[in-house]
Every structure is written in C-alpha cells, then in structure tokens.
Amino acid sequence: MALCREPVARQTRLNLDFVTPTASPIVSFRSVSCRVGQKDILRNLSFDVEAGETLVLLGRSGSGKTTVLKLVNGLLLPSEGTVLVEGTPTTAWDPIRLRRHIGYVIQEAGLFPHLTVAGNVGLVPRLEGRPQQEIHRRVAGLLTQVELHPAEFDHRYPRELSGGQRQRVGVARALAADPPLLLFDEPFGALDPITRVELQRQFLALRRDLGKTAIFVTHDVREALLLATRVGLVHQGRLEVLTTPSEFLRAQGDEVRAFLACLDAKGDV
C-alpha cells in the first residue's frame, strides 16, 4: 500500500475558478485508505456527505477521525482510493483554492495571536481581494451572529478573550468567505461544560439559519447525538456504523455499546 502523503506543489491540478460546482454530494470517499509509516490510519472508507447535512464522526482518540478531515481539505492525500469535494478529486484541486473553499474550526480556535478579532475573521476575504468595506460589513455581521458585539470585540486580541469567545471567533472566521463546507475538529472539547452547551446550541442555530454542510469530529457521544443529522462511528480506521442519531441508539456492535454505555452511566437513555 502507498503511503498517505502530503500534497506535492508540482502536481498538475485543475484551476477550479473555471469549474462549475456539481450538485450533491458535497464530499465523497471512495474506498479510501491512509497509511502513515507502518501504520494503517484509515481502511477502505466509503461514504457521501450530502448538501446541508451534518455528519458527526464519533470515535476514540486515535481512531482516524481527524485524518478524515485532513483528507477532505487536502492536508493529506489518500494512499488508496479517491476523496472528492464537489465532484472533483482533491488531487485535482489547487490546494490553496480548496482550503479557502472550506471553513475549518479546531480546538482552541487556532487564531493568529498578532491579529485582532476583526483581522482574524476577515483574513480569508482579505486574501481573496475583497473590498475593505465589504470585509468590514461581513466581519460585523458574523460577529453579531456568533453573539460577540462588534464594537466591543473587533479590536481585541485573542489573548483578551475567554476560551468560549475564541471559539466563537473561530466559527466566524470559518464562515467569513461563505464556504459551502465546514470542518469541525473537536472544537468544543477544551471548554467548560456550560460554555460547551452554549456553543452546541449556537451551532444548531447557525445550521438552521445558514444551511451549511458540515463534518464534525468528536469523541463525545452526547455531542454526536445532539448535533448530527448522521453519525459515523470510526473504530481502528474503519467506518463501523453510519446512521441517524435515533438509529444509532439501536445499532449493534461492541464499539457502539461502549459509547452507549456512556449514556447509560448517567441515565441518559
């Protein structure tokens, strides 16, 4: 098996400024495997992510969930199989265009410490050459949408924010260029329980209002069942279950039962 690899800059790619986006599915994995060194990270994954849905990938640490996200935005290329975004293989996308086409939210937000809140949120539109007045309006609207008043927050730096506020800024930054696809890599995992619930509710409100397609990674079964339109259970690099939250509660298998036991332990089922 070939190694799962980082993109090579010299590789020939399509200029997707002139490619008409296809209809759903937004993301497709076709028999995708990923091997790093001597370790199989992902094995023979096949699934589609349709427009407007939230696929939550649930699994233990080291199961391969984050690798799926890196394959979607081209940070890694598959050892075998094909990953398609809007019908085009990630190997054919220009990597910069692909990543600007996708919003990415990670734990601790990953904000640039030397930029203000407004500078962080407006970064991608600025790189895209949008007019400054348009960027200003976009930043103000997004900060309002994530419940951070622009007049109070746009001039602050990340060090002046709480963890929950930094995550809100991270979500606003991911939305700034109006991407069709959002990737969330355990974005609420480091937050206190109250802030985490607040941001989960805000995620649901944004999904309702914006209708974005999202792939969300978590190891928290409660979070998966709350946020997902479909839950994919990843175990040792394989997709063991892919189903709706209600059907997941009735699914079979040792790994499913291990996660459902987390609910039983607190009387949530």
Q: Are 259 and 233 in contact (CB under 8 A)?
A: yes
- Helix (H), strand (E), coil (C) string for 209-238: HHCCEEEEEECCHHHHHHHCCEEEEEECCE
Which 3 state secondary structure label does DSSP give 240? strand
The mean-pLDDT minimum among 3-7, 170-174, 199-203 falls in 3-7
Measured between alpha carbons, how far is residue 123 from residues 95, 120, 127, 130, 169 in Å? Answer: 17, 5, 6, 10, 12
**Per-residue CA distances from 50 to 27, 46, 182 (Å):** 7, 13, 13
CB 106 within 8 A of CB 191: no
45: enclosing H helix or E strand: strand 39-49
Band (pLDDT 50/70/90 cuts) for residue 266 is low
* CA distance readout (Å), 176 to 49, 72, 145: 22, 19, 11
Residue 37 pLDDT > 70:
yes
Asked if pLDDT for residue 13 goes beyond 80, the answer is: no
Q: How far apart are CA 176 and CA 129, in angstroms?
A: 13
Q: How would residue 17 be classed by pLDDT, with cut points 50, 70 and 90?
A: very low
Contact 44, 33 (CB under 8 A): yes
Q: What is the pLDDT of residue 263?
A: 86
Structure tokens at 87: 């019908």
d(CA 110, CA 90): 24
Q: What is the pLDDT of residues 156-199, one digit of tens each?
A: 999 999 999 999 999 999 999 899 999 999 988 878 889 999 99
Q: Which H/E stretch holds residue 239? A: strand 238-243
Residue 268: its pLDDT value, please? 54
Q: What is the pLDDT of residue 22?
A: 46
Strand 238-243 versus strand 39-49 pairing type: unpaired
Report residue 43 as tokens.
């094995």
Report yes or no: 103 and 181 within 8 Å, Cβ to Cβ. yes
| Cα–Cα distance for residue pair 156/117, rounded to 1 Å | 6
61 within 8 A of 235, measured Cβ to Cβ? no
